[in-house]
């Protein structure tokens, strides 16, 4: 898994082709997150980059559920 671990979070930054692709990707991740009832922090920056941060808000740390969500997000990223 190619996620950075920093300050109790799994972090990945993704470069897209354009703003529309960033929005489409964000929406695909939202569907996965809703299905798992576990929600990452998603931020768009410089119009074509998406920052994804995953951690368990209740514990403010990385848990098994975070790794599971990261795996599912990787599947979304692999299929784009």
**Boundaries of every domain in the chain:** 4-78
Q: Which CATH class is domain 4-78?
A: alpha beta
Tens-digit pLDDT profile for residues 17-69? 999 999 999 999 999 999 999 999 999 999 999 999 999 999 999 999 999 99
* Cα 76 to Cα 79: distance, rounded to the nearest angstrom: 5
- Is the per-residue pLDDT at 73 higher than 90? yes
What are 19's two structure tokens?
């703003």
**23 phi/psi in degrees, rounded to 5:** -65, -40
């Amino acid at each position: 898994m190619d996620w950075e671990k920093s300050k109790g979070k799994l972090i990945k930054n993704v470069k897209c082709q354009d703003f529309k692709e960033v929005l489409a990707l964000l929406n695909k991740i939202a569907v996965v997150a809703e299905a798992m009832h576990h929600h990452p922090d998603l931020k768009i920056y410089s119009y074509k980059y998406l920052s994804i941060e995953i951690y368990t808000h209740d514990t403010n740390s990385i848990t098994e559920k975070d790794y599971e969500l990261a795996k599912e997000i990787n599947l979304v990223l692999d299929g784009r």
